[in-house]
Chain A
Amino acid sequence: MALAMVIDDSSATRMILARILGELGYTVEKAENGADALHKLSKMSRPELILIDWNMPVMNGYEFLVKARSMPEYDDVTMMMVTTETEIEQVLKALEAGANEYVMKPFTKDIIDEKLSLLGLGAR
C-alpha cells in the first residue's frame, strides 16, 4: 500500500484525515507538528504524500514545508497543505515554498479525493 503522512496538532483532525486516506488506500503515519514529522520521516520509508496543517506549535507547517523541500530525498513527495489559512497570499506563499496543492478547512472526503485526483493520486 502507498504510504502517506498526516501532520496536524489536532488529534481529531489527524484521525479524520488518516481515516480518509485509509479509505483511499493509503497506510498513514501521523505527526503532531513539523519537528515530530521530520523525526518520524527519518525513521520510515519515504511517503508518497504528506498532508500538512499550517498553524502548529514547535514547528509550523510552512516551516516544515520549506525544510522538507530543501531535502533532495523528498523532492518527489507530494505535499498538500490542509489548513484554516484562507488568504490568497498564504496560498501563494505555500505554493512558492513547494506545496503541490492547498485545501482550506473545513474539508470533506470528496474534497481531499478530488484534489488528489488532480495530482494523479486518487484512490490507490
Chain B
Amino acid sequence: MALSSNDFTFLANFVKNTTAIVLTPDKDYLVESRLNPVARRVGATSITELVSKLRANPTINSEVGSMVAEAMTTNETYFFRDVKPFDVLKSELLPKVIERKGADRTLNIWSAACSSGQEAYSIAMVIKEHFPMLSNWRVRIVCTDISRAMVERTKEGIFSQIEINRGLPAPLLVKYFTKAGSEWKIKADLTSMVETSVMNLAGNWPMLPRMDIVFLRNVLIYFDLQTKRSILEKVNKVLVPGGALLLGGSETTMNVSNDFDRITTGSTFYYKSKGGPMPPAAPTQVTRTPYVAPRGSGY
C-alpha cells in the first residue's frame, strides 16, 4: 500500500527531529523501500501499521524508532572512496601532524558517520603502510555513527566479498585481511587502532578527544543549513587549531561556516580550521622512511 501523505509527513518529521536528515516529498519511494523491511521485522503488515507503532512511542530510544531512524540513514561506503582524500592524508596531512606533534606523539583522527568502517580502515592502512614512525605514537581513529548496527560492524571489521572488491587494493587485501568462510576479517593490528561509539551528529555530542583530522564526507548533504552550521561549529571546536577537515566532493563550508580556510592541494582540497595559528613545530627531529611505491595502486 502506498504511503499516505499524512504518514509521510509524520515520518519525515520524526526523521528530521531525531537525525536531522531532511526527507522531501519526492523521497517517498526511498522511505517505502527502506521501511518495508523494518515493517516485516517488527511484525507489521504494512508501513501504515509500522507508522501506527511509531506514533505510539515516537522516540529514537524505542525499538521501532531506532530501527526507522537507522533505516533512513545512508550507509554507502567503500575502501579508499574517491581516492584523493587518502592521497592528501598521505602526502600532506599526516606529515604535517608528525612534524607538529613529534614531542607529543599523539594522533587523533575522527571518521564521523563511519558507516561499516571502510573509511576508518583505509586511514589505518595508510598509516600502517606509509608511516612506520607512528608505531610508537598513540594513534586513535575514532569512529562514530548514528547506527548501532554500523558501529558494531566497524568494530568487528568483517566484510563481504562485494565490500572487499570495492576500492581495496589487492596488495592490501592479502596483507591486512584473512578469509573467514565467504567473508574477510581485517587483522587485529588494524582493529586495535579503531575506537567506536554510537553518536548522532545532529544531537548532543559526547566528550571527544581534540582531533588532528576529521573525515566528515558525504554527510552534510543530508542536513538543512541550520544543522550544517551547528555541526561545523562543533567540528571546529573539536579540531585542534589548524586541524584538517575533509568533506565529500560535493560538499563545502562556503556560506555555511567562516571557521575554515579551503586549502587546495594538487587536484583536490581540504579545509583547515582557523581556530588559531598552528602550534610551533616540536623540536624533535622526525625522519620519514623513504616510501617506495608498490607496483599497482598508490596504497
Interface on A for B, CB 8 Å cutoff? 86-88, 91-92, 94-95, 98-104, 106-107, 110-111, 114-115, 117-120
Contacts and interface: CB of A to CB of B under 8 A. Distances in A.
Given A101-B169, A104-B161, A88 B174 contact: yes
A100 B171 CA distance: 9
8 contacts: A91-B174, A94-B170, A101-B169, A101-B296, A104-B164, A107-B165, A115-B167, A120-B298
Contact of A118 (B167, B179, B295): B167
B298 A118 contact: yes
A24 B173 CA distance: 25
B297 A118 contact: yes
Given A98-B295, A100-B295, A88 B169 contact: no
Contacts of B167: 114-115, 117-118
A119 B296 contact: yes
Interface residues of B, number: 22
Which 3 pairs across A and B sit closest by C-beta, in order of nearness?
Answer: A102-B170, A118-B297, A100-B296
A89 to B, nearest CB: 9
Contacts of B299: 118
B295 A101 contact: no
Contacts of B169: 101, 118
B57 interface: no
Nearest to B173: A91
Interface of B: 78, 80, 83, 161-162, 164-167, 169-171, 173-174, 177-179, 295-299
A111 B169 CA distance: 11
A88 B298 CA distance: 21
Most chain B beta-carbon neighbours within 10 Å: one of A86, A87, A98: A86
Given A101-B296, A119-B296, A95 B171 contact: yes
Contact of B170 (A101, A107, A120): A101
A24 to B, nearest CB: 15
Contacts of B165: 103-104, 107, 111, 115
